[in-house]
Structure 1
Amino acid sequence: MIYTMVRAADWRSAESTGQYDGSANDKADGFLHFSTAAQLPGSAAKHRRGETDLMLVAVETARLGSALKWEPARGGQLFPHLYAPLQLSLVDSAVPLPLGPDGLHIFPPLDNSPAEES
């Protein structure tokens, strides 16, 4: 399972079209940014700290096919990048991601099984 954090307004837009095309940063980079369960807290702290009204979107890696690439990013870690719009029919869950009083997000239980890197 891999995860991405999406602004709620963007997610509502995606629900009307059936696909999520990414944030402005995703579009500038040419791919949708995802994280594994282990990487997610660091990604949230670095890129979304203090941001309210987010959705946590979970997708099983096997559903994404060859458009999913594992590429080195922060600290040389391999991060999952999706080089295609995310079809909402492939999404396992999309839940609100609340913010704690410390400005860090409060995550639901995450699937920590090893991701398949391809």
Structure 2
Amino acid sequence: MALQSKVPVVAAPIPSSAVHQVFWVLRAGFTVLPVVFESDKFADVLTAVASRFGSWVVAAWLVGIIGNLLLLGDFYDVALRDVGLLLGALSLAQLAAVVHLTDRVPAS
């Protein structure tokens, strides 16, 4: 004998303004941000304009990518390639810091 409930289940209505807000936040996040960050591959804004900051951003980004690839387990060769890119980004960060400091010191 199956038990049957006579109590109707009614979901609370979501205000349409909240639904639209969530929709636009997700739409902007999943369409605008990838386009902006992928366009940096071609424009090199992160490394050309502010390399002492952009190189750290790229390094952190690469650490996340490497961690993701290692967790997946089948992409060790790609992770190793990205370690080389990470070393390049860290080297650029160090060079950019030195160049920035020497540019600020007045020549005597």
TM-score (norm: length of structure 2): 0.23
Structure number with the higher strand fraction is: 1
Structure number with the higher helix fraction is: 2
Larger Rg: 2
TM-score (norm: length of structure 1): 0.22
